[in-house]
């Protein structure tokens, strides 16, 4: 009786506060704005790209849980009024402002945002240079764009001012865009995709000069500028890293295991640097930089590029790591790069690649690589009367774009090629016109495990057996991203019994559990090359026994063409859950001991825990041969 009286009194006391929260200006304004966006969408009265930007700003305010309407909600109201009047607020209202937009990425179910600035006198009939700004580990897109536009924010205040509205101090005659990169992805996998998707979004929404696109970034963003800027050099007029290491091989600061090197090289600027032969590469670095972006790495890169006769500019500063202000104070980005133009069709092209997602430079593309992943190289030259190509490494097939009809000479073989797009394939040791078969490892279905992170993942947990709730916990953690320090990644989580045919078709499946606990894994287990057993893991003819052993591997989905299935499997649900602590940069498959994994996932290969076994499938997705690089306990 007394307990009931106390409870009734407590509820009565809380009721006014609950009612106040329900009718707070912020909550009411958010609901009103969402209703206005829905109405405009239903009427088709505003472009979807405009409505998503307004939705993104409203969502920021909703997550902030303010008692009163915040600054982004006020800006959303202003933009809504313009959209309702039939105008594009990102042109009429946003000139000279640093503002936010949003778009739908396949990576996450949450809207992905980015910061954008257009000049005060922006004129859609003109073409503007585009600066793509990649933030470092202590900032986000909004704050890094502000820093790049002259705003002064003490480093200790960075985190607190991530989502403030900043007023640009510099007002260059440029469009500036700063992706969020899903937090601190360090601009690999989903971070790289976000950067390229945002460039496409901005190019569609504004009048961008495609031959004046500059990629630039600081710290982790400098590392990202080096890596993305060499992987996709042909897209940029200039690549301008600030305080960045020239690729993952240097950032690691050591000598990676050969298996790890095979994963890292296709993602690392050091290995791909010759792709920048037709792209202005201009690095800025502090002489006393104390971090993993060591000055001696840039000295080594300078010497390497000199030996390769690849143009390179390197500016040194008598300071440490934070270079944004000194670089912009001297006009070394906006002023110096404004007139630099990309040559969209250079006569000479060098292409170095080990990744089908970054296998094109200008008019040359590698479409098949033997022993994938492996570094392949093509040197191509257009002459008045012919095209000459020389390949080095495991190049098996090529695609050439925008050719004139005439002879193509490749590795000494002379072929008569038609005009337009030409496919070349190596068969029986010689080259001929034609395409490779659409089988085995190929673009979009090649591995390693990280390749799946470029696309949409649907996390499917098993519901059978004891402690099945741990499998759901594993899936929910995986759905927030396996890389440490990600932000904004929210992927669908589905029980095995609830998975639909539409979901199977729309994304790559991540299966948690074993054939005993996960019905989807049981359905396809006999079609997979690695088996989860009650007392261990079977890899081909090798059985690894142990209750604490699990496996993660990527394989073409037996349920949907063109899709992956990623298995994170073990006999014990605890071991499945612990698999979320695997490090980044994995090969096609690993067998792990949960007792030897770090306390949280690491951004880098984990040299201390050592995989029980690991390796790559061959080009036909089979186990065995030289493609297995085991590391025994």
Which of 401, 433, 465 is the last residue in one of the domains?
A: 433
291 pLDDT more than 90: no
CATH number for position 314: 3.40.50.1820
Q: In degrees to the nearest 10, what's the CA dihedral of 117, 119, 123, 125?
A: -70
DSSP-assigned letter for residue 152: -
Provide the token pair at 329: 């104070």
Full domain range(s) for residue 45 = 25-82
Mean pLDDT value across residues 221-250: 96
| Residue 66 pLDDT | 57
Q: In degrees to the nearest 10, what's the CA dihedral of 60, 64, 66, 70?
A: -30
| φ/ψ bin of 227: left (φ > 0), alpha (ψ from -120 to 50), beta (otherwise) | alpha
Cα(335)–Cα(329) distance, rounded to whole angstroms?
10
Cα(312)–Cα(301) distance, rounded to whole angstroms?
9
Provide the token pair at 226: 């080096």
Provide the token pair at 22: 């329900």
Cα(41)–Cα(48) distance, rounded to whole angstroms?
7
Longest Cα–Cα distance in the chain: 99
Cα(434)–Cα(411) distance, rounded to whole angstroms?
16
> Which of 88-97, 168-177, 182-191, 603-612 shows the lowest mean pLDDT across its residues?
603-612
Provide the token pair at 384: 């008045």
Which residues are CB-neighbours of 627 under 8 A, at least 6 positions away? 371, 615, 616, 617, 618
Based on the fold, state whether residues 46 and 102 are members of the same structural domain: no
Pairing of strands 280-286, 238-242: parallel
| Residue 89 pLDDT | 96
In this structure, is residue 114 part of a structural domain?
A: yes
Contact 317, 284 (CB under 8 A): yes
Closest by Cα among 73, 88, 84 to 122: 88
> Which of 16-20, 241-245, 314-318, 472-476 shows the lowest mean pLDDT across its residues?
16-20
Cα(158)–Cα(142) distance, rounded to whole angstroms?
11
Question: Where is pLDDT greater, at 114 or 602?
Answer: 114
pLDDT band, very low/low/confident/very high, at 64 (cuts 50, 70, 90): low
Give kind and range of the element (H or E) at residue 42: helix 25-43
The predicted-structure confidence for 583-628, as pLDDT tens digits, reads as follows 889 999 999 999 999 877 766 665 555 789 999 999 999 997 544 4
Contact 588, 448 (CB under 8 A): yes
Question: Where is pLDDT greater, at 249 or 192?
Answer: 192
Instruction: Say how many domains are in the chain.
Output: 4
Question: Where is pLDDT greater, at 331 or 412?
Answer: 412
In this structure, is residue 383 part of a structural domain?
A: yes
Based on the fold, state whether residues 258 and 375 are members of the same structural domain: no
Which residues are CB-neighbours of 526 under 8 A, at least 6 positions away? none
- Omega before residue 448 within 30° of 0, cis: yes
Based on the fold, state whether residues 100 and 43 are members of the same structural domain: no
What does pLDDT average to over the chain?
A: 91
Based on the fold, state whether residues 401 and 498 are members of the same structural domain: no
Based on the fold, state whether residues 125 and 246 are members of the same structural domain: yes
21 pLDDT more than 70: no
Closest by Cα among 57, 30, 65 to 113: 57
- Terminal C-alpha separation, the chain: 64
Provide the token pair at 144: 């890094």
In this structure, is residue 19 part of a structural domain?
A: no
pLDDT band, very low/low/confident/very high, at 329 (cuts 50, 70, 90): confident
Based on the fold, state whether residues 466 and 584 are members of the same structural domain: yes
Give the distance, in angstroms, between the CA of residue 233 and the centroid of all CA atoms in the same chain: 16
Residue 117: half-sphere exposure toward Cβ, Cα within 13 Å: 31
Provide the token pair at 146: 């502000």
Based on the fold, state whether residues 325 and 203 are members of the same structural domain: yes
Based on the fold, state whether residues 101 and 141 are members of the same structural domain: yes
Which of 337, 366, 388 is the last residue in one of the domains?
A: 337
In this structure, is residue 6 part of a structural domain?
A: no
pLDDT band, very low/low/confident/very high, at 254 (cuts 50, 70, 90): low
| Residue 371 pLDDT | 96
Can you list the alpha helix ranges (DSSP code H) found in 252-376? 258-264, 269-272, 295-308, 324-329, 334-337
| Residue 610 pLDDT | 75
Pairing of strands 208-218, 175-179: unpaired
pLDDT band, very low/low/confident/very high, at 54 (cuts 50, 70, 90): very high
Cα(556)–Cα(563) distance, rounded to whole angstroms?
6
Beta bridge partners of 216: 133, 240
Based on the fold, state whether residues 101 and 206 are members of the same structural domain: yes
In this structure, is residue 1 part of a structural domain?
A: no
DSSP-assigned letter for residue 160: G
Provide the token pair at 159: 């985190």
In this structure, is residue 598 part of a structural domain?
A: yes
Pairing of strands 128-134, 175-179: parallel
CATH number for position 526: 3.30.379
In this structure, is residue 505 part of a structural domain?
A: yes
Mean pLDDT value across residues 168-193: 96
| φ/ψ bin of 54: left (φ > 0), alpha (ψ from -120 to 50), beta (otherwise) | alpha
In this structure, is residue 325 part of a structural domain?
A: yes
Provide the token pair at 215: 């990629």
Beta bridge partners of 239: 215, 281
Q: Classify the C-alpha dihedral 432-438-443-448 as positive or negative.
A: negative
Based on the fold, state whether residues 147 and 176 are members of the same structural domain: yes
The predicted-structure confidence for 160-179, as pLDDT tens digits, reads as follows 999 999 999 999 999 999 99
Buried b (16+ CB within 10 A) or exposed e, 322-350: bbbebbbeeebbbebbbebebeeebeebb
Residue 215: half-sphere exposure toward Cβ, Cα within 13 Å: 30
Based on the fold, state whether residues 418 and 505 are members of the same structural domain: no
pLDDT band, very low/low/confident/very high, at 322 (cuts 50, 70, 90): confident
Residue carrying structure tokens 């493609």: 627
Which of 58, 82, 106 is the last residue in one of the domains?
A: 82
Which residues are CB-neighbours of 175 under 8 A, at least 6 positions away? 116, 117, 118, 119, 122, 128, 129, 130, 131, 202, 206, 208
Contact 416, 407 (CB under 8 A): yes
- Omega before residue 373 within 30° of 0, cis: yes
Based on the fold, state whether residues 489 and 540 are members of the same structural domain: yes
DSSP assignment string, 418-469: -SEEEEEEEETTEEEES---S-SSBTTB---GGGGGGS-EEEEE---STTTH
Beta bridge partners of 130: 175, 213
The predicted-structure confidence for 428-473, as pLDDT tens digits, reads as follows 889 999 999 999 999 999 999 999 999 999 999 999 998 999 999 9
| φ/ψ bin of 561: left (φ > 0), alpha (ψ from -120 to 50), beta (otherwise) | beta
Q: What is the CA radius of gyration of the chain?
A: 26
The predicted-structure confidence for 380-423, as pLDDT tens digits, reads as follows 999 999 999 999 989 999 999 999 999 999 999 999 999 999 99
Beta bridge partners of 395: 369
Cα(246)–Cα(253) distance, rounded to whole angstroms?
11
| Residue 429 pLDDT | 83
């Amino acid at each position: 009786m007394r307990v009931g009286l106390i409870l009734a009194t407590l509820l009565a006391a809380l009721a006014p506060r609950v009612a106040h929260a329900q009718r707070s200006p912020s909550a009411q304004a958010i609901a009103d704005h969402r209703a206005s966006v829905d109405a405009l969408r239903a009427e088709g009265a505003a472009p979807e790209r405009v409505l998503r930007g307004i939705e993104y700003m409203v969502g920021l305010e909703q997550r902030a849980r303010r008692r009163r309407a915040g600054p982004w909600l006020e800006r959303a109201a202003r933009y809504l009024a313009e959209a309702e009047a039939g105008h594009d607020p990102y042109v009429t209202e946003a000139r000279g402002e640093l503002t936010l937009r949003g778009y739908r990425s396949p990576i996450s179910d949450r809207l992905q945002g980015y910061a954008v600035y257009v000049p005060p006198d922006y004129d859609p009939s003109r073409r503007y240079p585009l600066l793509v700004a990649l933030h470092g580990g202590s900032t986000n897109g909004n704050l890094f764009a502000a820093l790049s536009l002259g705003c002064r924010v003490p480093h200790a205040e960075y985190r607190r001012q991530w989502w403030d509205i900043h007023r640009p101090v510099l007002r260059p005659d440029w469009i500036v865009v700063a992706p969020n990169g899903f937090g601190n992805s360090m601009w690999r996998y989903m971070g790289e995709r976000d950067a390229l998707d945002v460039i496409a979004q901005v190019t569609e929404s504004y009048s961008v000069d495609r031959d004046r696109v500059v990629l630039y970034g600081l710290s982790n963003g400098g590392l990202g500028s080096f890596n993305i800027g060499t992987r996709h050099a042909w897209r940029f007029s200039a690549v301008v890293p600030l305080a960045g290491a020239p690729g993952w091989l240097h950032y690691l600061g050591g000598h990676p295991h050969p298996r790890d090197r095979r994963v890292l090289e296709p993602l690392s600027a050091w290995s791909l640097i010759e792709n920048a032969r037709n792209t202005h590469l201009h690095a800025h670095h502090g002489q006393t930089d104390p971090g993993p972006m060591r000055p001696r790495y840039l000295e080594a890169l300078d010497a390497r590029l000199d030996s390769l006769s690849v143009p390179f500019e390197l500016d040194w500063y008598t300071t440490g790591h934070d270079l944004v202000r000194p670089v912009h104070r001297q006009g070394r980005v906006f002023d110096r790069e404004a007139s630099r133009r990309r040559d969209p069709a250079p006569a000479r092209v060098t292409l170095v690649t080990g990744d089908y997602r970054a296998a094109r430079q200008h008019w040359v593309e590698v479409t098949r690589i033997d022993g994938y992943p492996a570094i392949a190289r093509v040197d191509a030259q257009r002459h008045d009367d012919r095209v000459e190509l020389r390949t080095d490494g495991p190049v098996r097939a090529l695609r050439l774009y925008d050719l004139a009809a005439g002879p193509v000479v490749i590795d000494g073989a002379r072929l008569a090629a038609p005009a337009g797009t030409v496919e070349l394939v190596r068969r029986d040791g010689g080259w001929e016109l034609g395409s490779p078969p659409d089988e085995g490892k190929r673009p979009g279905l090649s591995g390693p495990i990280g390749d799946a992170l470029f696309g949409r993942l649907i996390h499917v947990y098993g519901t059978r057996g004891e402690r099945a709730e741990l499998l759901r916990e594993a899936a929910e953690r995986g759905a927030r991203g396996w890389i440490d320090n990600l932000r904004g990644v929210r992927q669908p989580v589905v029980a095995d019994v609830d998975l639909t045919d539409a979901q199977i078709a729309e994304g790559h499946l991540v299966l948690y559990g074993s054939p005993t606990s996960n019905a989807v894994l049981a359905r396809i287990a006999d079609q997979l090359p690695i088996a989860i057993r009650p007392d261990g893991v079977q890899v081909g003819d090798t059985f690894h026994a142990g209750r604490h052993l699990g496996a993660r591997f990527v394989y073409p989905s037996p349920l949907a063409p063109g899709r992956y299935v990623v298995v994170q499997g073990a006999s014990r649900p605890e071991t499945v859950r612990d698999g979320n602590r695997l490090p980044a940069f994995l090969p096609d498959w690993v067998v792990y001991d949960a007792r030897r994994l770090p306390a949280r996932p690491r951004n880098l290969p984990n040299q201390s825990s050592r995989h029980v076994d690991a390796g790559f499938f061959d080009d036909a997705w089979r186990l065995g041969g030289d493609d297995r690089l085991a590391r025994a306990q």
